[in-house]
Structure 1
Amino acid sequence: MQNKQKGFTLIELMVTIAVLAIIAMMAAPSFGDMLQRQNLNKSTKELVAILSQARAKAALERREITVELLSADTDTEDKLNWMPAGKSSLKSGRTAEIVFMPTGLVKDPLANQIIATDTSFEICDASSDPKYSRMVTISKMGAIQQIVEGDCS
């Protein structure tokens, strides 16, 4: 009587592992891209949220509220801080601080005057690939707009 054993041979197992490794190597770059996009989106949403919060707080409390960019300090009653997450960085912007006035207008604290044009902030990923950038614009009236893609260069 012949005993037939069931199972995989060592060669079949090695071929299966090699095929899985090739498939995993093809998926790894797209997973890295997804993580970069997610990190950039997180930083952009946090910036928009901080700017919106400052504008609303200035109108509600009827006083000037400052948003300090690139600062990891603790928020105070009249100052909110924002720092990009992970490998994201702020590449452009008129100033490192924005002041929201109770009227909704935006003031440049360095010049101590109301900003007459729109102010844009570009958030880029460390990869410096233009497809990994987001633009946030504050209108001269204080409205915050998020443009999906910027042009990091």
Structure 2
Amino acid sequence: MTTQTEVPNLSALARTLLVELRQRFPAFGQCLPLAIGIDKLLLAEMPEISRKTLRVALNMHTNSSRYLKAMASATARFDLAGNPAGEVAEEHRARATEMLKERFKKEREQRNAARVAEETQRKAEEAQRRIAAEAEARTAKLQQLAAKFSVKGGR
């Protein structure tokens, strides 16, 4: 069982590893579609990294919008040095395109929901101000009437 402190540490380690991979290997730095089995090549090249950290780092990289955009239009996969190492299957291109569409749709829905929430909040605040102003005006009117009648009653 993983604790909540392990997950952020694993994510942080994976992000650090990704920075190193981008600096060391052109395929990562240029965000090229990776060759099938790249994880095995990475483990052979960098035996000091843990499989778990590598898996998380690769997941972050291959699920990034930048990588998915590259996959959606690519025809070739690349090894660590950036050399062609196989073709991108049509189903992989289609999956990348679908994931991007879903991601953009979700982001658009979130923006729209946030916009609606902001508008609702603004209208509620406006209504509160209007109600407060009306109440203040009523109170002032009542005070004027009370003052008027108390002056007449006192004579």
Considering fraction of residues, name the structure with more strand: 1
TM-score (norm 1): 0.28
Considering fraction of residues, name the structure with more helix: 2
Look at both structures and tell me which one has the larger radius of gyration over its CA atoms.
2
